[in-house]
Structure 1
Amino acid sequence: MRQYLLIIIFTMLSLSAKAQVKLSGTVTDAAGQPLSGVIIKSIDATTKKMAGYAQSGNDGHWTITAKAGSLLQFTAMGFKKQELTVKEGMKEQRVALEDNAVALKEIMVKAAPVRLSGDTIKYLLSTYSKPEDRTLADVLSRVPGFEVNKDNGQISYEGKSISNFYIEGMDLMGGKYGVSAKSLPQQDVAMVEVMKHHQPIRVLDDFTYSDDNAINIRMKKGAKEHWIATFDGGAGVKSHGGLWCFESFAMRLKPSWQTIITYKTNNTGKDILSESEALLTTGELGETLRPLIVLPAPSTSRLGQRSLFNRTHVVTFNTLLRLTDNSQMNLQVTYTNDREEASAQRTTEYFVNTGNRMIDNKKEYLEKDDHLTAKLKYENNSGGQYLKNELSGDLLWSRQWLTERGTNPHDLYGRLPEYTLKDNLMVMRRMGNRLVTLESKNIMQVRPNGLNVDALRQDVNQHYYETDTYLKGSFLLGKFIVSGRAGINAGKYAFSSNMQTLLDSLGLWTGSSHYFFSRIYANPEVEYKISDFDITFSNELSWNHYSYSVGDAYSRVLYSPELHIRWQASPRWQLGATADITNGNVDANQFYPTIVLQDYQYIHRGLADYRVARDKGVSLSARYGDALRGTHLVGRVKRTFGSTPYTTSQEYEGDYIIVSLQPQRTTYNAWNVTLFCSQGIGALKGTLNARALYNAKDAEMIQNGEQMPFKTRAFNLTAGLTTSLIPTVDVDYHLTWMRNTMKMQRLGSSSTINSWKHEAKVHIPIVKLLSLETLAEYYHNQLSANRFKDIFFADASLKLQLRRFDITLALNNLLNRKTYAYALNSDLMRSTSSLLISGRELMINIYYKL
């Protein structure tokens, strides 16, 4: 009997052991980020009692043993509970928890909006979004620490522009990420990660310090399974014709492939051109060539959408293909067709030692542009080597018409095309503690420009070629990083001008020339890292040779040392100090033998001289960041002393102003102060951002042969508060104050301009699906010593929000204002402009998300 009983007991134990299943896996949020501290319970399916539990670690990994047929329950504060049934033979499990918000009277308990993981700060976007938000830029503008340029989509964090913009870890947009920031549907974004001290090139992780901030956009799981598309279109009427706007956005994200396609068009004054501008140009040669022909057009962007009369079409195509885990190909193409008109009255007062001049003209301006840009990039970014090659083209066909009536009546027509080609190659190879880099940058620019002023015709051709190739070696010696770079930089500037003679006494109108420079340089650098200090000393030594087809050749040696100290005083405080001596480059644009008519009034004269400016500067910076409390503070003070071998000269000859450089050394000094702060305010359920800029400079100008010193002082303050103090009512308030003072000692006079702008936006829900949004703008602009212009604008819109549709009825410029006036100070002159702006407009828009 005992034998039978033992057999029965062992059989039952065996069956029980077979019913036990050992499970493991990872638990993440909707963005795919590991979650720690998640409770995993084993629930008996029959008794509904807990049979066991486990908890996820820092990497989100968990392990538990449970019976087949029982339930596994995953719970965490701020996330929806999730369950799965235990089955025999289950493989590694990956569980993604969805965000959850639980209402407790008037308090909302949500998932932690900010999480820290080393140098990465993770912002849960849903905790900052509002029902009226459509795009990523809409939400980021109210997150503490962030600033978003509402025109071009440029993103700054802690007062500094981001260095890279990634989507799911891939750099699809490159420097033209503005179109993504202003088009990416915010409801498809799970998390925004800020990567501090970001180094995009893996082999440089141990070789160089980076103070850059980059962001990575984590999409929700559903957004990565199919195409995402949005459509926003509308029509309306204004006082002189009809209105239209249409925007489409399509995106497909896959593990090895990303594509974004957009098409946008409007005639409402909305600036969509700036979205496709290059916001990042790291690692490229700058576009040295400056236009010599510039029409004095009204500022069409001064008042944004209200002052821009346009017909614009923009198409963008961006695709990225991941070839291997480390390599990818990227193609970007943008085409724009734009037509802009502007009308303004401008009064300009020139402060002249022989008596002030006054010009009062009415301007009618028209511009038609076709612009094509394309970039093809291959990149291989591994831990042992890095290879990148970028080939890009920028082709602009621009035509401009300007009619001036008043003191100086003229008709102007400018043909101002510009063509730019670039190629950038970089190869890095890491061998233990050594790093070798080869980089070659190349650029070609062409400006075949022409100008018609009444019956006069002028043709100016500029061609510029430059190459910069260097070899760099770096060695890691304990706490020292020793680097050395040596290379050659060379360029050629070709100029030709052809025009019928105006006044022989002013100079030569027709001619051509060639300017060439070469620079052989060496740049030793030592970086020392100890504890929380990072000290870098570098010094560029260069031998420079210049030659000019209508002048003598010249050679010289230059040096430019720099010392930079960074101290990570605490996890939140970072302090820095920089001291440098900088030599400027010889400006190729000043080498031309003729005089050039810039417009109907200004004439430019070249100067063949090889001397360069020399600056000495000292700057101090402090940065405090506490992302968990939403506190970000940045301060920077820079003091600059310098001298330049030239002084800008203005000579008044009849109706013309001849601008040139005189070979006369002058000294100058300047102060630059920048302050930025951002604070999340829980009591107000909002965020406060503020930025202050102060610039002071003492300068000189030669006017009709007489030295004319003057001082400029400029102060700019911008502040904004977003709040939801009243439940469901959102308020945005922004203040901008600018003060600019120009003091002219020799003339015994000064010019001061103050301007204020107040902007408030209020979003008020009326019923569940219907809301009202109002916008008010108030300007208080100083036009002269005792004259101010007060302007008030008001807009209102009704929005009906359905599941996939938004329908908006908007009435803009309710008060039907017709003009806007402002004043500006410049070098020994002051101008006052009155812009024609859009009248009252009625628009209906439909937004649809696929």
Structure 2
Amino acid sequence: MKYLVYIFFFMTVSLQAQVVIKGKVNDENKVPLSNVIVSILNPETNAVMAYEMSDSKGAFQIPVKSTLSTLKIKASTVNYSVFEKVVENKSQDIQIQLVDEFTQLEEIFVKASPITQHNDTLVFDLNAFAGKNDRVLEDVIKKMPGMEVSGDGEIKYQGKALNKFYVEGKDLMQGRYGSITKALPNLHVSKLEVIENHQPIKMLEGVVPSESPAINIRLKNKISLSGSAKIGVGGDPFLWNSTVSPMFFSKGLQYLVSYDTNNSGEDLNNKFRAFGSFGSFDTYRYTKDTGQTLSMSATSTPGVDKSRYLDNRSHFASANFLVKFTDKLEMNTNAFYTNDEVKQSGAQSTEIRNLDANGNVSEVIKYNRKDENRYFKEVFNSKFTITKNAKDNYLKDYITINVSRNKERGLMLQNNDPINQSVLSPSFTLQNSLSTLIPVGNNKFANFKSIVDFTRDKQDYDVVANGNVNFPDEDLKKYGLLNQSFLDNSFYTQNAISLSWKYKKWTFTEEYSLLFENKRFETDLYGQNNERVWLGSNYQNDLTYNRFVNRLNSTASYKGTSWDMTFTLPIIWSAMKLDDKTIDTKNTKNAVDFSPSVYLSYKINNMWTLRGGSGYSTSYTPLSQLYDHYIFSGLNFTAYKGKIEDTQSINSWLRFEFKNPFNGLFMNGSLNSNYQEKKIMLAQTIDENGQTIIEALDRKNIANTQSANVNLGKFFSEYSSNIKGSFSVNKNKNEILVNESLRDVNTYNYVYGLQLTNNHFDWLNFTYDFNYNETQRKDMKQSTYSYGNSHNVRIDIIPFKAHSFIWKLDYRENIFNQQKFTNRFMDVMYRLKWEKKKIDFDFEWSNILNTKEYEQVVINSIQTSTTNFKLRPSQFLVSVRFNF
């Protein structure tokens, strides 16, 4: 924390030495000129120190920090002569006059810049980054400097999540933009715009700062019927992979309708996953996880692309419509249905070291597990949204209905003893959220927000024990089948009203909110031989949990030319009550907390930005850790027997962002620190076959996490090449209690990444990804260490315009305790392009080496596991792909 204070102190001192060069750019007739690049240069080296583009009135304002005695000002634009002038290094107004210039050239070759900037908007020319065999928008975004696309499809710019994803200025998908990026042909896209510091609520533009970016897609045709389709079949066994995604975009109507089905290893869940970050005046976002309390014990999935191991039969359908009634009012309808069946097969060998008081190994627990599991998921989700977004009014309201049904079943061999498991978990959610902003006078506005959520979560976990499971009660061994039931009915609502007013560059907000949550939590354990028998109140939980939270929040936000600041000073009164009917006790907690936070952003110039913040918060033991009697899940028994206690957290962070769009250089990095002080410690007792009993103890303990990361991207336009580099380090320190041994465990993780792409040659495209990671666990005198690396190569050879040969190589290596685990994969594809009809014929052979299992080592704060996971066999797929 003190380092963060020092950094901002030096930033404040440096601000005193900052000068501001401002002025206007006119032509010879004193007509203002917009989009003129005005740069501040070092007069000795001509290095660019800062720059800005003139606005619609020809005005510019450039903060610059330098110890030089003089500065050079340069202004340039097309069809005008270049203006240059050396001035003193002090704040001043400069009037720039550009002279018309006409030069007759015998021959000229013009190449547009791949990245341009206008104010806070960066414009990427998609053609500059697209390879010959890129087909959809996501393929190209992955190659752009400053952009990241995760495995689940989430896009980040300069390390920050998007708050909006627009197509022609409209948010059709409401955060589920994976359906667009994975289906919209990149050939139909003209430009991709990144809007930095995007404030999606028009009433708050220039009033309330935002650090979140947004993306806007510009299409080549303003009225466009787009989309793509693919039909694929293959073997072995019989395979299919088909998708159809027609889209329509116009000024008053947008829609996307899609249907996807495959059994070839493509994960469709990412198409309906919602992403995004949201501001304080937007609608509330609340999601209660369902189907998570009871689960089967299973081997952890491997760290390789899902298409290598996903043995699936998947169907996904969605319908999304946006209707614009007026320039200010629009309505969204988003609905999807998914039906997904997955088979998984894995094995793991686990080692847990029990330590004595001196840190020496007293006993080593080793166990082996093999499992064959099947998972079935069926989900229907619909969301209806109406939005009015104007300069003088804001209204947003949405209703969400979610119905899901999950089924799991599997066979596990625990030290070669068979155990059958199954889980059934249907759930239902109904939610409504509203936010409105209303002006109430000059420079004043009121905000009302509300959310109401009802969720019903029912789960059942069955185990055919056959004497192979250890129990806390020996009487349970006589039952051949155990059934654990779970039911959670939850009601959640939060309502807030606030008044904001603006004074110069400051916006002050006073807000009061009331949160109420009611949960009914019921569990029972049954045994069955010839008949179903309730196993008594020792395995029953019947809890009612009520939570009232009153929050009075004072916020001050400053939005200036260089500085953005937000100070939040909330006073929170919480009243919690737990009624345990099985033991006829009540547990209450009343507390008043002060949870201040600060956010600061300093724009040094158009290239450099520093951001930072810190916050102190208090949280309380959730209901999932308050039950007194055992719940049986994943072959483990948990009975926290906990009280409602507080956890104190201090979180601090600092990040920097650098961009130079003119030479395609982007860089960002961050430092993060999180300190937690808890009053409850979870004690784990692990027996010889890996089964765990978890209980909560009244014992103070501390968890501390520090992390740092740096990301760099550089695009070389003359070579059509992009390079990305990354580094991250993470340190976790925890106190744990395992088998009555109290330890301080430190876990370190280092990750290095490198990506190279080259699209320079018409006949050759190249992509190379490299990742290296190290993991180390220090447990008293014991130390466990592993490291691994991966290499991914893709080479596209296009000997003729209509023919492509694609070769992919994936090599992964993991080393632990002088043991090396190596996994190799190779894929090839031949593509025939029918240019006239815009149709591709793909012939793809995956996993040519027929690698059958993936081996890896997993290290966490307690155990070390070596896992083997069954992979998809070698397969061949023939596909026909076309665009609308």
* TM-score category, normalised to shorter length: 0.7 to 0.9
Q: How does 1:178-197 map to 2 (within 5 A)?
A: 178-197=178-197
- Asked whether the equivalents of residues 501 and 509 of structure 1 are also in contact (C-alpha less than 8 Å), the reply is no
With 605-614 and 424-433 compared, the bigger mean Cα shift is at 605-614
1:671 Cα shift? 1.0
Matched residue type, 2:252: S
1:229 Cα shift? 4.1
- CA spacing shift, 1:128–1:552, aligned 2, 3 Å: closer
Matched residue type, 1:752: Y
Q: How does 1:685-704 map to 2 (within 5 A)?
A: 685-704=720-739
Q: In the alignment, is residue 790 of structure 1 matched against residue 801 of structure 2?
A: no
Matched residue type, 2:771: T
* 1:629 aligned partner: 663
CA distance in 1, matches of 2:262, 2:560: 56
* 1:42 aligned partner: none
Matched position secondary structure for 1:255: coil
- Asked whether the equivalents of residues 483 and 527 of structure 2 are also in contact (C-alpha less than 8 Å), the reply is no
Q: How does 1:527-538 map to 2 (within 5 A)?
A: 527-538=557-568
With 457-466 and 375-384 compared, the bigger mean Cα shift is at 457-466
CA distance in 1, matches of 2:302, 2:219: 34
- Asked whether the equivalents of residues 813 and 839 of structure 1 are also in contact (C-alpha less than 8 Å), the reply is yes
1:498 Cα shift? 1.4
Matched position secondary structure for 2:769: strand
CA root-mean-square deviation? 2.5
Matched position secondary structure for 2:539: coil
* 1:17 aligned partner: none
Matched position secondary structure for 2:169: coil
Q: Which of 389, 407, 410 is the aligned partner of 1:399?
A: 407
Q: Which of 460, 463, 470 is the aligned partner of 1:453?
A: 463
CA distance in 2, matches of 1:131, 1:471: 53
CA distance in 1, matches of 2:522, 2:489: 9
Matched position secondary structure for 2:595: strand
CA distance in 2, matches of 1:831, 1:653: 16
- CA spacing shift, 1:419–1:280, aligned 2, 3 Å: farther
CA distance in 2, matches of 1:501, 1:828: 32
Matched position secondary structure for 2:171: coil
> Rg bigger for which structure?
1
Gapped regions of structure 1 (runs ≥ 5): 1-33, 38-56, 61-75, 78-103
* 1:275 aligned partner: 271
1:588 Cα shift? 2.4
- Asked whether the equivalents of residues 287 and 445 of structure 1 are also in contact (C-alpha less than 8 Å), the reply is no
* 2:345 aligned partner: 343
- Asked whether the equivalents of residues 292 and 596 of structure 1 are also in contact (C-alpha less than 8 Å), the reply is no
* 2:707 aligned partner: 672
Bigger RCO of structures 1 and 2 (CA < 8 A, at least 6 apart): 2
- CA spacing shift, 1:424–1:432, aligned 2, 3 Å: same
1:531 Cα shift? 4.5
Q: In the alignment, is residue 331 of structure 1 matched against residue 327 of structure 2?
A: no
- Asked whether the equivalents of residues 365 and 688 of structure 2 are also in contact (C-alpha less than 8 Å), the reply is no
Matched position secondary structure for 2:238: strand
* 1:434 aligned partner: 444
With 556-565 and 309-318 compared, the bigger mean Cα shift is at 556-565
CA distance in 2, matches of 1:669, 1:406: 35
* 2:131 aligned partner: 130
Q: Which of 731, 747, 751 is the aligned partner of 1:712?
A: 747
CA distance in 2, matches of 1:581, 1:511: 34
Matched residue type, 2:272: S
* 1:475 aligned partner: 501
1:351 Cα shift? 2.7
Q: In the alignment, is residue 823 of structure 1 matched against residue 857 of structure 2?
A: yes
Q: Which of 795, 801, 805 is the aligned partner of 1:772?
A: 805
- Asked whether the equivalents of residues 513 and 550 of structure 2 are also in contact (C-alpha less than 8 Å), the reply is yes
Matched position secondary structure for 1:127: helix
1:718 Cα shift? 2.3
- Asked whether the equivalents of residues 285 and 442 of structure 1 are also in contact (C-alpha less than 8 Å), the reply is no
CA distance in 2, matches of 1:464, 1:829: 35
* 1:89 aligned partner: none
CA distance in 1, matches of 2:682, 2:726: 32
Gapped regions of structure 2 (runs ≥ 5): 1-32, 37-53, 58-77, 80-106, 356-361, 465-480, 581-585
1:663 Cα shift? 1.6
1:287 Cα shift? 2.7
* 2:241 aligned partner: 245
Q: In the alignment, is residue 648 of structure 1 matched against residue 686 of structure 2?
A: no
Matched residue type, 2:128: T
* 1:90 aligned partner: none
Residue by residue over 1:486-542, the C-alpha shift from the partner in whole angstroms, topping out at 9 and shown as x without a partner, is 111110121111113699999821231101110111111122345512232211111
Residue by residue over 1:420-465, the C-alpha shift from the partner in whole angstroms, topping out at 9 and shown as x without a partner, is 2221111111232112100002222221100110011111111222
CA distance in 1, matches of 2:662, 2:537: 66
* 1:228 aligned partner: 226
- Asked whether the equivalents of residues 183 and 227 of structure 2 are also in contact (C-alpha less than 8 Å), the reply is no
CA distance in 2, matches of 1:172, 1:393: 18
1:394 Cα shift? 2.0
- Asked whether the equivalents of residues 763 and 799 of structure 2 are also in contact (C-alpha less than 8 Å), the reply is no
Matched position secondary structure for 2:587: coil
Q: Which of 475, 488, 492 is the aligned partner of 1:462?
A: 488
- Asked whether the equivalents of residues 715 and 722 of structure 2 are also in contact (C-alpha less than 8 Å), the reply is yes
Residue by residue over 1:336-363, the C-alpha shift from the partner in whole angstroms, topping out at 9 and shown as x without a partner, is 1111001111112223346221121211
- Asked whether the equivalents of residues 507 and 595 of structure 1 are also in contact (C-alpha less than 8 Å), the reply is no
* 2:544 aligned partner: 514
Matched position secondary structure for 1:274: helix
Q: In the alignment, is residue 420 of structure 1 matched against residue 450 of structure 2?
A: no
1:726 Cα shift? 4.7
- CA spacing shift, 1:457–1:641, aligned 2, 3 Å: closer
- Asked whether the equivalents of residues 336 and 380 of structure 2 are also in contact (C-alpha less than 8 Å), the reply is yes
* 1:809 aligned partner: 843
- Asked whether the equivalents of residues 201 and 386 of structure 1 are also in contact (C-alpha less than 8 Å), the reply is yes
Q: In the alignment, is residue 756 of structure 1 matched against residue 767 of structure 2?
A: no
Matched position secondary structure for 2:646: coil
Q: In the alignment, is residue 571 of structure 1 matched against residue 580 of structure 2?
A: no
- Asked whether the equivalents of residues 361 and 409 of structure 1 are also in contact (C-alpha less than 8 Å), the reply is no
Residue by residue over 1:583-624, the C-alpha shift from the partner in whole angstroms, topping out at 9 and shown as x without a partner, is 124312223232101122x11113342222112233222111
With 661-670 and 585-594 compared, the bigger mean Cα shift is at 585-594
Q: In the alignment, is residue 662 of structure 1 matched against residue 700 of structure 2?
A: no
- CA spacing shift, 1:696–1:505, aligned 2, 3 Å: farther
CA distance in 1, matches of 2:301, 2:673: 34
CA distance in 2, matches of 1:299, 1:641: 28
With 253-262 and 657-666 compared, the bigger mean Cα shift is at 657-666
CA distance in 2, matches of 1:327, 1:710: 55
Matched residue type, 2:721: G
1:196 Cα shift? 0.7
- CA spacing shift, 1:361–1:706, aligned 2, 3 Å: closer
Matched residue type, 2:242: F
Q: Which of 769, 780, 784 is the aligned partner of 1:734?
A: 769
Matched residue type, 1:476: K
What is the percent sequence identity of the aligned residues?
21
Matched position secondary structure for 1:208: coil
1:549 Cα shift? 0.8
* 2:373 aligned partner: 365
1:300 Cα shift? 4.8
Residue by residue over 1:230-276, the C-alpha shift from the partner in whole angstroms, topping out at 9 and shown as x without a partner, is 221111112xx111110111011121110001111111101122121
1:769 Cα shift? 0.9
1:212 Cα shift? 0.9
- Asked whether the equivalents of residues 759 and 775 of structure 1 are also in contact (C-alpha less than 8 Å), the reply is yes
Matched residue type, 2:509: S
Residue by residue over 1:459-481, the C-alpha shift from the partner in whole angstroms, topping out at 9 and shown as x without a partner, is 11112221111111111112322
* 1:16 aligned partner: none
Matched position secondary structure for 2:354: coil
CA distance in 2, matches of 1:514, 1:527: 40
Residue by residue over 1:532-584, the C-alpha shift from the partner in whole angstroms, topping out at 9 and shown as x without a partner, is 12232211111111111122322110111112221111111111232221212
With 410-419 and 122-131 compared, the bigger mean Cα shift is at 122-131
1:134 Cα shift? 0.8
Matched position secondary structure for 1:520: strand
Q: In the alignment, is residue 496 of structure 1 matched against residue 498 of structure 2?
A: no
CA distance in 2, matches of 1:119, 1:579: 26
- CA spacing shift, 1:250–1:627, aligned 2, 3 Å: same
1:676 Cα shift? 1.3
